[in-house]
């Protein structure tokens, strides 16, 4: 029976995925914001990879592949959430939530940067996550997101400038 | 690194034209203790980036599907054992055998046993005589 292709053992799989598991988690957290949901997303992606382990040899970059899976998974989650939120808007519950959110101000200035990032469009958020936090190069970012490198550079610049703008605003308010 | 150089790098950074190694230089510069006041606002940004890269997933991977199939296997094994057990313990039906040589003696023995049974039954029935009392009273009331 062992003459067939070698079957990857759980142990080996865990060691392999530990190399990028935290990156998947951070990416999911960047998109979904909630810690719990990001943990669930990471579990789900790893389990999907495990189920397809026999095909893993075909992918030359498993990490990039897993990152793309995470992106798609989170997009689906966000889409599902959006449709749920629409219902909430109709019954006027949403207003209350945003005002509550405003009350909970960023605790310190680092949290403030996080808040600014949460307000960026998803694609810019992901590109900054991959580039500035995970230090992927533009080619790698392009591969994960399935867009070309020029688009990556343009969105990266836009996102960074937006963050700068918000930081300046906060800085100026702080002085006045 | 010179201040003018940092400012140039920052400009390039916001245009999205810095290389990964240049961005590393910026990160190193802005995580230092002292930064000129006009660049102070960028400290948060680069500090945030380096801090975020250290966040780790808290949960370890659980192979839940695998565990389920393990339990399924135990269930199958248990039911097989159960079924085999039921078949093994089922009593084999034995053919009745003659225990007497002479049919005459056999008849006598059978009669003896049947007599004994009827004797005990009658003994039991004697106790039921008391029940007639009920019958008497109801008959009295009804008539």
* Whether A131 contacts A156, CB under 8 Å: yes
Question: How confident is the model over B65-95, as pLDDT tens digits?
Answer: 555 566 778 888 899 999 999 888 877 677 7
Q: Give the whole-number percent of chain B exceeding pLDDT 90.
A: 40
For residue A163, is it within any domain? yes
Question: How confident is the model over A71-107, as pLDDT tens digits?
Answer: 999 999 999 888 776 655 444 444 444 444 444 444 5
- One domain for residues A26 and A76: yes
What pLDDT was estimated at residue B64? 64
DSSP string, A98-112: HHHHHHS--SSHHHH
- One domain for residues A120 and A74: no
B117 has pLDDT over 80 = yes
Which is higher by pLDDT, B118 or B67? B118
For residue A91, is it within any domain? no
CA atoms of B121 and B119, how far apart (whole Å)? 5
- One domain for residues A110 and A167: yes
Residue among A120, A124, A119 at smallest CA distance from A145: A124
* Whether A64 contacts A45, CB under 8 Å: no
What are the chain B neighbours of A29 within 8 Å (beta carbons)? 55
- One domain for residues A70 and A116: no
Structure tokens at B15: 């245009």
Count of residues making up chain A? 176
For residue A97, is it within any domain? no
Which is higher by pLDDT, A49 or A172? A49
Residues near B35 by Cβ (< 8 Å), separated by ≥ 6?
B29, B42, B43
Q: Compute φ and ψ for B59, nearest 5 degrees.
A: -90, 145
Contact status of A51 with chain B (Cβ, < 8 Å): yes
What are the chain B neighbours of A43 within 8 Å (beta carbons)? 59, 61-62
Number of compact structural domains in chain A: 2
Contact status of A113 with chain B (Cβ, < 8 Å): yes
- One domain for residues A69 and A115: no
Nearest to A17 among B17, B55, B61 (CB): B61
For residue A85, is it within any domain? no
CA atoms of B75 and A15, how far apart (whole Å)? 31
* Whether A167 contacts B45, CB under 8 Å: yes
Range of the domain at A27: 8-80
Question: How confident is the model over B124-135, as pLDDT tens digits?
Answer: 888 787 888 888
For residue A175, is it within any domain? yes
Domain harbouring A74, CATH code: 1.10.1740.10
Check CB contact under 8 Å for B65 and A156.
no
DSSP string, B50-87: HHHTT----SPP--HHHHHHHHHHHHHHHHHHHHHHHH
- One domain for residues A112 and A175: yes
CA atoms of B64 and A51, how far apart (whole Å)? 12
Structure tokens at A36: 């719990």
Q: Give the whole-number percent of chain A exceeding pLDDT 70.
A: 81
**Alpha helices, DSSP H only, in A91-148?**
94-103, 109-118, 122-128, 138-145
Count of residues making up chain B? 143
* Whether A27 contacts A126, CB under 8 Å: yes
- One domain for residues A74 and A112: no
Q: Which of A62, A80, A98 is the last residue of a domain?
A: A80
Domain harbouring A119, CATH code: 1.10.10.10
Q: Is pTM, for the whole model, over 0.80?
A: no
Chain-wide mean pLDDT for chain A?
83
CA atoms of A88 and A76, how far apart (whole Å)? 19
Structure tokens at B43: 């400290």
**Helix-strand-coil split of chain B, %, nearest 5:** 75, 0, 25
For residue A92, is it within any domain? no
For residue A94, is it within any domain? no
A175 has pLDDT over 90 = no
Comparing alpha-carbon positions, the chain B residue that sits nearest to A175 is: B41
What pLDDT was estimated at residue A45? 94
Give the minimum alpha-carbon distance from A86 to chain B in angstroms, rounded to a whole number.
31
For residue A98, is it within any domain? no
Q: Which of A65, A80, A95 is the last residue of a domain?
A: A80
Average pLDDT over residues B5-25: 94
What pLDDT was estimated at residue A81? 84
Which is higher by pLDDT, B40 or A46? A46
What pLDDT was estimated at residue A109? 75
């Amino acid at each position: 029976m062992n003459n067939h292709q070698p079957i990857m053992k759980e142990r080996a799989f865990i060691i392999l995925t530990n190399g990028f598991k935290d990156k998947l988690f951070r990416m999911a957290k960047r998109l979904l914001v909630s810690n719990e949901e990001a943990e669930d997303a990471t579990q789900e992606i790893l389990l999907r990879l495990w189920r397809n382990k026999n095909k893993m040899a075909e992918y030359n970059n498993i990490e990039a592949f897993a990152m793309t899976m995470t992106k798609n998974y989170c997009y689906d989650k966000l889409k599902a959430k959006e449709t749920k939120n629409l219902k909430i808007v109709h019954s006027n519950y949403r207003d209350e939530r945003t005002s509550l959110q405003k009350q909970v101000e960023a605790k310190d200035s680092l949290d403030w940067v996080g808040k600014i990032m949460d307000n960026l469009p998803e694609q810019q958020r992901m590109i900054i996550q991959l580039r500035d936090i995970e230090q992927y190069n533009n080619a790698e970012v392009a591969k994960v997101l399935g867009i070309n490198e020029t688009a990556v550079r343009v969105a990266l610049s836009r996102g960074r400038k937006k963050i700068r703008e918000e930081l300046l605003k906060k800085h100026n308010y702080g002085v006045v | 690194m010179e201040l003018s150089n940092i400012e140039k790098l920052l400009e390039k950074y916001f245009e999205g034209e810095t290389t990964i190694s240049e961005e590393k230089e910026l990160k190193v510069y802005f995580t230092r203790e002292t930064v000129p006041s006009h660049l102070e606002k960028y400290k948060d940004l680069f500090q945030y980036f380096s801090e975020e890269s250290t966040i780790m997933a808290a949960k370890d991977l659980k192979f839940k599907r695998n565990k389920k199939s393990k339990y399924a296997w135990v269930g199958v094994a248990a039911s097989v054992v159960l079924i085999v057990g039921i078949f093994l313990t089922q009593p084999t039906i034995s053919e009745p055998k003659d225990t007497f040589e002479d049919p005459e003696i056999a008849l006598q023995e059978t009669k003896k046993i049947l007599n004994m049974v009827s004797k005990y039954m009658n003994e039991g029935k004697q106790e039921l005589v008391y029940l007639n009392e009920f019958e008497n009273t109801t008959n009295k009331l009804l008539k």
